[in-house]
Amino acid sequence: MTSPKVETRLSTSEPVKKETFGNLAPWSEPAWYSSLASPYYNKSHKRLRDAIRSYYDDNVLPYSLDWEEKGDAPLEARLKYARSGFTFADVPAKYRPADIPGPAGIPVAQLDIFHLMIMTDEGARVEGGVGTALAGASVIGAPPIIYHGTEEQKQKWLPGLFTFETSFSLGITEPSGGSDVANIQTTAKKTSDGKFYVVNGYKKWITGTPWATHMTTAVRTGGDGMKGISVIVIPVNAKGFSWKRIPNSGQKAGGASFVELDDCLVPAENLIGKENEGFRIIMTNFNKERFIMSIACNRKARTCLSTSLSYAHNRHTFGKPLIANQIISSKLATLARYVESHWAWLEQIAYHIQQSPLGWQDPEIAGQIALSKVHGGRILEMANREAQQVLGGAGYQKGGPGASIEQMSRDLRMMVVGGGSEEIIADLAVRQETALAKKRGWKL
The contact set with ligand FAD (CB under 6 A) reads: 137, 169-173, 177-179, 205-207, 248, 251, 254, 256, 414, 417-419, 421-424
Instruction: Quickly count helices (H) and strands (E) in the chain.
Output: 14, 10
Cβ-based nearer residue to ligand FAD, 33 or 157: 157
Least separation in angstroms between residue 361's CB and ligand FAD is: 21
Cβ-based nearer residue to ligand FAD, 367 or 419: 419
Least separation in angstroms between residue 216's CB and ligand FAD is: 9
**Alpha-carbon torsion, ordered 168, 172, 174, 178, to 10 deg:** -130
Amino acid at 206: I
Q: Which residue is nearest to ligand FAD (CB)?
A: 178
**Alpha-carbon torsion, ordered 18, 38, 344, 30, to 10 deg:** 30
Q: Which of 347, 392, 399 is nearest to 368 (CA)?
A: 347
Do 150 and 69 touch, CB atoms closer than 8 A? no
Cβ-based nearer residue to ligand FAD, 231 or 332: 231
Cβ-based nearer residue to ligand FAD, 171 or 210: 171
Cβ-based nearer residue to ligand FAD, 103 or 210: 210
End-to-end, the C-alpha distance of the chain in Å comes to 56
Cβ-based nearer residue to ligand FAD, 170 or 353: 170
Cβ-based nearer residue to ligand FAD, 235 or 321: 235
Q: If DSSP codes are grouped into helix, strand and coil, which group holds residue 237? A: coil
Least separation in angstroms between residue 180's CB and ligand FAD is: 6
Least separation in angstroms between residue 181's CB and ligand FAD is: 8
Q: How many CB atoms lie within 10 A of CB 305?
A: 28
E strand or H helix at 170: strand 168-171
81: left (phi over 0), alpha (psi -120 to 50) or beta: alpha
Do 90 and 143 touch, CB atoms closer than 8 A? yes
Q: Which backbone phi and psi does 201 adopt, to 5 degrees?
A: 155, -170
Cβ-based nearer residue to ligand FAD, 140 or 238: 140
Cβ-based nearer residue to ligand FAD, 256 or 281: 256
Q: Which residues pair with 265 in a beta bridge?
A: 198
Least separation in angstroms between residue 29's CB and ligand FAD is: 28
Cβ-based nearer residue to ligand FAD, 381 or 386: 381
Do 168 and 141 touch, CB atoms closer than 8 A? yes
Do 101 and 107 touch, CB atoms closer than 8 A? yes
Least separation in angstroms between residue 276's CB and ligand FAD is: 19
Least separation in angstroms between residue 392's CB and ligand FAD is: 28
Residues ≥6 apart with Cβ < 8 Å to 142 = 88, 90, 91, 157, 158, 161, 168, 216
Distance CA 252, CA 327 (A): 35
Distance CA 403, CA 121 (A): 19
Do 169 and 208 touch, CB atoms closer than 8 A? yes
Cβ-based nearer residue to ligand FAD, 180 or 269: 180
Least separation in angstroms between residue 141's CB and ligand FAD is: 8
Least separation in angstroms between residue 427's CB and ligand FAD is: 7
Cβ-based nearer residue to ligand FAD, 64 or 285: 285
Least separation in angstroms between residue 176's CB and ligand FAD is: 8
Least separation in angstroms between residue 415's CB and ligand FAD is: 9
CA distances from 439 to 358, 433, 443 (A): 18, 10, 9
Q: If DSSP codes are grouped into helix, strand and coil, which group holds residue 375? A: helix
Distance CA 339, CA 295 (A): 10
Amino acid at 378: R
Least separation in angstroms between residue 203's CB and ligand FAD is: 7
Q: Give the single-character DSSP code of 163.
A: G
